[in-house]
Amino acid sequence: MAVNERIDKQDGLRIVTGSPIYTDDIASPDALVVKIMHSEHHYARIKKIDTQEALKMPGVACILTYKDIAAKPITRAGQTYPEPSPQDWKILDEYVRFKGDDVAIVAADTQRHAVEAMAKIEVEYEVLEPVLDFMEAEGNKAVVHQEEDCFAHFDFGFRPKENVAGSLKVNIGDYEKGLKESDVVITREYRTQATHPAMMEPLTAYTYLDHVGRLVVVASTQVPFHVRRQVATALNIPMHKVRVIKPRIGGGFGCKQTSGAEFYPSLVTLKTGRPAKIYFSRNEVFLAATRRHPFWFELTVGATKDGIIKCFDMKARSDAGAYGEHCWTVLEAGAEKCMALYNKVEGYRYDGKALYTNRVSSGAFRGYGKTQNTFAVECIVNELAEILNIDPVELRNRNIIREGEVLRIGHDHIYDAAVMRQDSCKLDYCLKRGAEMSNWKNSESGKTSSNKAEGTGLALSIQGSGIINLDSGGATLKLNSDGFFTLLIGSADMGTGCDTILAQMAADALEVPYESIVVNSADTDVSPYDDGSYASSTTYVTGTAVVKAAADMIKRLKEEVAKLWKLDLEEISYREGVFTGADNEIDLNHLSYELNSEQISVTRSHKCAKEAPPYKSGFAKVEVDLETGKIKVNEFNAVVDCGTPINPNLATVQTQGGVLQGIGMALFEEINYSQSGDELNDSFMTYKLPCKKEAPKINVEFADSYEPSGPFGAKSIGEVVINAAAPAVIHAIYKATGIWFRELPVTPEKMFKALKLKSNQE
Amino acid sequence: MQISMIINGQEKAFNVEPDEYLSDTLRSAGYKSIKRGCDKSSCGACTVLLEGKPILSCSYLSFRANGKKVTTLEGEREEAIKLGSLIIKEGGDQCGFCTPSLILTTIALKRENANPTEEDIKHYTNGNLCRCTGYVAQLNGIKKYLGVE
Ligand code: FES
Ligand code: FES
């Protein structure tokens, strides 16, 4: 068996020896270097742009401005067509809508030449009044999208004239009834900040024309098929003229689910016929790549005095930034499930809006709205426990969703209960086990010495395993000489190891050794269509396609064997690479040669059809230095219900990585702005990522869970692991100090001030 | 300007600009184990060894390396596989963008300090940022490699 084994990642050896496997490593040395000239203003119209002098500079191959292209509005969001994101972005536009927006594209022989030429471009701006605070954006006289040609494929509340990029209302059950039945009702405001995905490999793409003149885009992307469509649409060429190849990716976390780099070299290659590449500097990643949507929440929860949660009401506002990539779906994902962990309520209400500002666009980032919403929901549940004087573990025990129950979310009017029934839900176990691991009952809380205080806090989380009726994945299996199989997939391994786990599934489903599976992902000319790697869907959705394809492959091969032996299909059996008839036997190796004149390959797709979310509990142990405000997470215990972990090693490390990102969000990471609204920390020197010394011991366990609708019982893991971390840390800080923080991140400075204020009041 | 370096034991000549950084010189010469994650000496991805000591090549001017010994991970294949395999066994090779530099730094640590503690390892490799793993699996692999309990 390969599934549930700690198998080494396929690309491991090439990775650890530093081999050239990433986009920039394999780009041709002759490729033109593409650089973007970024706007210096938050909001402006380009009155005049003069490239005459720049064009005369040595090494310059081409310079493009909005005058050179008749761009159509598209969205860069890598989502299934028709995308639920506003079509509001053009490769180059007369208007620049945030500091860092694209003004011109320069391509030259070397980086030096490109930078020198760029300095000669003269731009005259008409500077416009920007709107920088999303809480003031709605109805502001500064309108971010004044152009008439932006549009939405369908109605998701896109009202650009009012700076509303998308809105959403959800109403489930009878909220008023729940409110009436509540003895205690509390309302709180919460805020989450913009954080950077900070994948280590910046945005990058490399392009060239192949032997028949088709555009080949080699890109570090999570969504090859969406890139193909977007590049074709934006450049106004037929889709069959574009091929997208994804090599190894140096991390994505959602940031590479938006096409941030691909258009620029593509445009240059089409204009010049020459290979071209772009490699964002880290500063440019900060300047122009998408980040997590900042949110404001006003949340009300009602409960009886014996701790039955009766209702939730949430108002949410998010900062979409200048372009609305993913803004509406982030609202939707956030509105969907976090409150529904507590499914005994009478009613939920949600009212969300994503607002345009003259800031860098927000976009997809691991957790995708659920991270922010979970923060608010889990924080208020912990506050409620305190007010009710009920142990927070016990309070959750009385309210959480359990196996066999129905998940109540915004879709329940569309899907029947069978789709929403939780056939695998071990959240209660995750809670119990996490409490044990953290010694919850006897854990220290409060002051432990003259200058130290400790506390343990907890939170729960949920995510999806793919979007119902939308997310689809494909798998092609091909039998080759010698009896090995090629597995062609269109999902994008961004480091998670999905190539490896899909091969594990294929091996088990085909009953062959793991080594007999060769994976190729992804190349839009070769791979079956796949939405790409996002929405936690690869294991569950593409994995199911792999299992289906394997079953079909065995059936097809049986047919061939039956033909060979002139027997009926029923007379052929298959086990572990060997076909058996009444008195014959043939293995895959020999069969592949017998079939040399007949290439057997099968392709199957799978569309997500069931709501099979993973669950997690997170317990944080923190220590607060009462003199300096420094907060240290000493230990984090995570118990995850992801169904069957296909590769426990990889699942464990994904959990640890996600937890640390969540801790980063809780304590360190945030964009700071100057008085004039400029970003202050736009490099790794100033934007604080957690280092080894700040990383706690992160213990991970898995619940013994099996999801019948998933491949080998699996659900997703990629995103659920980040969500509970920040609220658990906030809870632990409260347990240590008695102070509730409702805004992230809690820096030592904020902690220090809060401690001062508290001691003054006492 | 004309310089020469002894790279992984072989003397090589380069024509570099006065303001050119070592990471760029070496990457264009084909040493792709050197990654560029931040261009500001903050992430460690561009680590090379200069006379055996780790430096950040994204902020080290190439001409300063004139006549010096430079080691990249390409020159440490055997050790890379040894340590790398232990990291792989832990599942600590995620996107891998940070891994070559971490491995090279650890090799330098091993040569500098025969008996490091876990704290020593964390201190020595603290500048090698990783966004994927949460560091636990990487550390476990390194501890096995260095024989640290
Ligand atoms: S690229 Fe040199 S330290 Fe980051
Ligand atoms: S493995 Fe991706 S950054 Fe370390």
pLDDT tens track for A237-270: 999 999 999 999 999 999 999 999 999 999 999 9
Q: Do B33 and A18 touch (CB under 8 A)?
A: yes
- The residue whose two tokens read 């690479």 is A577
Which residues of chain A, if any, have pLDDT below 50? none
Q: Which of A16, A504, A660, A663 to mutate to test the interface with B (most CBs of B within 10 A)?
A: A16
Residues 6+ apart with CB under 8 A from A389: none
Ligand nearest to the CA of B137: 2
ipTM for the whole complex: 0.98
pLDDT score for A417: 84
Quickly state the pLDDT bin for B102 (edges 50, 70, 90): very high
pTM for the whole structure? 0.97
Beta strands in A480-529 (DSSP E): 485-489, 517-520
Tokens found for residue A61:
């191959």
pLDDT score for A38: 97
> What number does the ligand 2 atom closest to the CA of A199 have?
3
Angle (CA) A271-A277-A282 rounded to 5° is 130
- Name which of A431, A378, A444, A385 is nearest A623 in CA terms: A444
- Searching chain B, which residue's CA lies closest to the CA of residue A16? B84
Q: Do A653 and B95 touch (CB under 8 A)?
A: no
pLDDT score for A217: 98
Quote the radius of gyration of chain B (alpha carbons, Å): 15
Residues 6+ apart with CB under 8 A from A12: B84, B85, B88, B93, B96
Q: Given the DSSP bridges, would you call strands A472-479 and A485-489 parallel, antiparallel or unpaired?
A: antiparallel
- Whose Cα sits closest to atom 3 in ligand 1? B41
- Name which of A303, A382, A305, A386 is nearest A346 in CA terms: A303
Q: Do A693 and B122 touch (CB under 8 A)?
A: yes
Q: Which amino acid is at A556?
A: R
The minimum CA-CA distance between B10 and chain A, rounded to whole Å, is 19
Measure the CA–CA gap between A639 and A720, rounded to whole angstroms. Answer: 11
pLDDT score for A413: 64
Q: A15 contacts in B (CB within 8 Å)?
A: 84, 93, 96, 99-100
Q: Do B137 and A201 touch (CB under 8 A)?
A: no
Is the sign of the CA dihedral A472, A478, A484, A490 positive or negative?
negative
The minimum CA-CA distance between B17 and chain A, rounded to whole Å, is 10
Residues 6+ apart with CB under 8 A from A49: A65, A66, A67, A103, A104, A121, A122, A123, A124
In chain B, the percentage of residues whose pLDDT exceeds 90 is 99
Measure the CA–CA gap between A614 and A720, rounded to whole angstroms. Answer: 7
> What number does the ligand 1 atom closest to the CA of A684 have?
4
Q: Do B94 and A282 touch (CB under 8 A)?
A: no
* Contact (CB, 8 A) for B43 and A28: no
Tokens found for residue A179:
């409110």
Quote the radius of gyration of chain A (alpha carbons, Å): 27
Q: How many CB atoms lie within 10 A of CB A532?
A: 30
- The residue whose two tokens read 């490399």 is A206
Phi first, then psi: what are they for A622, rounded to 5°?
-120, 160
Q: Which of B40, B87, B95 sits opposite A201 (nearest CB)?
A: B95
Q: B42 contacts in A (CB within 8 Å)?
A: 683-685
Beta strands in A4-93 (DSSP E): 32-38, 44-50, 60-64
DSSP string of A157-178, one letter each residue: --BGGGTEEEEEEEEEE-HHHH
Beta strands in A101-157 (DSSP E): 102-108, 122-127
* Contact (CB, 8 A) for B3 and B13: yes
Q: B131 contacts in A (CB within 8 Å)?
A: 197-200, 251, 253, 657, 661, 689
DSSP string of B36-103, one letter each residue: -S-SSSSS-TTEEEETTEEEEGGGSBGGGGTT-EEE-GGGGHHHHHHHHHHHHHTT--SS-SSHHHHH
Tokens found for residue A320:
């979409």
Q: Do A250 and B38 touch (CB under 8 A)?
A: no
Alpha-carbon dihedral angle through residues B54, B59, B64, B70, given to the nearest 10 degrees: 30
A280 to A204, A216, A287: CA distances (angstroms): 6, 19, 10
pLDDT score for A412: 60
Pocket of ligand 1 (CB under 6 A): B 36-39, 41-46, 56, 58
pLDDT score for A469: 86
Q: A282 contacts in B (CB within 8 Å)?
A: 37-40, 43
Measure the CA–CA gap between A299 and A315, rounded to whole angstroms. Answer: 6
Q: B38 contacts in A (CB within 8 Å)?
A: 282, 683-685
Residues 6+ apart with CB under 8 A from A159: A167
User: A–B: how many Cβ contacts below 8 A?
Assistant: 185
* Contact (CB, 8 A) for B90 and A653: yes
Q: How far is the CA of A251 from the centre of ligand 2 (A)?
A: 7
- Searching chain A, which residue's CA lies closest to the CA of residue B103? A16
Measure the CA–CA gap between A63 and A71, rounded to whole angstroms. Answer: 16
For A393-427, the pLDDT digits (tens) are 999 999 999 999 999 887 666 778 889 999 999 99
pLDDT score for A23: 98
DSSP string of A554-571, one letter each residue: HHHHHHHHHHHHT--GGG
Q: Do A16 and B123 touch (CB under 8 A)?
A: no
Alpha-carbon dihedral angle through residues A707, A709, A711, A714, given to the nearest 10 degrees: -20
